[in-house]
Amino acid sequence: MEVVKYSIFVCGVIGVTLGIMIGFVFWVLNSNLRDYVNIWSAILLAFIVFMIILFYFGGKDRIRDEKRMIE
């Protein structure tokens, strides 16, 4: 069951990132590069924060499960 859950997470991250990148390619072709770099940097930072939050909650559950299994 966990394999399915993590596969959905990975496919979702790949899909969202690919969609954002394709959107930005069309945007940079119709706009200037300076705005592209600024917005992409902001989205990259937001993505990193989001992943840190996911790893925190995922790791917290894992530690709790390991303690339960040891007991």
pLDDT tens per residue, the chain (71 residues)?
788 889 999 999 999 999 988 987 888 788 877 887 888 899 899 999 999 998 888 777 777 777 788 87
Query: Given this model, what pLDDT does residue 50 score?
Result: 94
Is the Cβ–Cβ distance between 20 and 43 less than 8 Å? Answer: yes
CB atoms within 10 A of CB 58: 13
Is the Cβ–Cβ distance between 40 and 28 less than 8 Å? Answer: no
CB atoms within 10 A of CB 64: 10
Query: Given this model, what pLDDT does residue 14 score?
Result: 95
Q: How many domains, in total, are found in the chain?
A: 1
Write out the residue range of the structural domain in which residue 27 sits. Answer: 2-70
Nearest 10 degrees: CA dihedral of 5, 9, 11, 14? -170
Query: Given this model, what pLDDT does residue 49 score?
Result: 96
